[in-house]
Amino acid sequence: MAANVTTPGAIEPKLWMGGIEPMKASYGKLMMWFFLISDTFTFSALLVAYGYQRFSFPAFSGEVADFTFSNMWWPIPEKVYEAVPFLHGIALPLVFVGIMTFILIASSVTMVLAVEAGHRMDRANVEKYMLWTILGGFTFLGCQAWEWSHFIHGTDAGSVMKVIENGVWVEKTVHGANLTENQYGPAAFADFFFFITGFHGTHVFSGVILNILIFFRAATGFYDKRGSYEMVEKVGLYWHFVDLVWVFVFTFFYLV
């Protein structure tokens, strides 16, 4: 059996040096993917916990029972999320939440266009589409702030909400929910709403701050000097993740 002989003066290949890119992905992209995977576990755990609580309560069967809505029945999403700004007293189930979802998905499209422009080293279009993405993020956060305000203060502004009392539907002014009181339903309903939507909103806000930083660096020619717009792509991965998580949050909270 022949022994391995190293030629004098030959340089041995070192496969694990920092310059090697596994799967043609840079170190920064890999670290972003690792972070997103870990964040996926966090959101998954929260949504699974919400689902467990949601289905531990019986669905309203329409039969008369000696239980109040707040103590026994899980709130019906179409009844809780039916308000739209400037349209007090008009029930439009899930319309406003649908608008919020459209805005966030549209911002994901503009982020894709910014990344594509970065691949072409097109600084002007990177700036344009990053601005649109930032605007979409701020708009979504503004909508979420209004939704939180309405959820907390209830329907005092002029409309009433149909709830179940003693097993029958009645119209009643609902004063909303906070961390100590919840007139929509079980206390866990408000707790999960504030925590999960707030946690997602924090991610959106962080993404907007990162997008602003990337925009200013692009506008000052930082990436032109570096010769690469890869940072736009890395932040784009985070923004797409935030959008995808909202699809699951929307499904769990507003549709189920």
Stronger pLDDT, 179 or 133, i.e. the higher one: 133
Question: Which of 71-80, 191-200, 222-231 shows the lowest per-residue confidence on average (mean pLDDT)?
Answer: 71-80
Angle made by CA atoms 75, 82, 139, in degrees to the nearest 5: 115
d(CA 130, CA 214): 8
The answer to whether the pTM exceeds 0.85 is no
- pLDDT band of residue 99 (cuts 50, 70, 90) is very high
Stronger pLDDT, 24 or 14, i.e. the higher one: 24
Average pLDDT of span 90-111: 90
pLDDT score recorded for residue 7: 53
156 pLDDT above the threshold of 70: no
Residue 70 near residue 223, CB atoms below 8 Å: no
d(CA 199, CA 22): 32
The torsion defined by the Cα of 226, 227, 230 and 236, in degrees rounded to 10, comes to 90
**Closest by CA position to 207, among listed 141, 153, 122, 158:** 141
Residues 159-174: pLDDT tens digits?
455 555 555 556 656 5
- pLDDT band of residue 139 (cuts 50, 70, 90) is very high
What beta strand segments (E) does 63-195 contain? 161-165, 168-172
136 pLDDT above the threshold of 50: yes
Average pLDDT of span 66-81: 64
90 pLDDT above the threshold of 80: no
Q: How many CA atoms lie within 13 A of 87 on its CB side?
A: 10
62 pLDDT above the threshold of 80: no
- pLDDT band of residue 35 (cuts 50, 70, 90) is very high
Stronger pLDDT, 82 or 8, i.e. the higher one: 82
Stronger pLDDT, 243 or 19, i.e. the higher one: 243
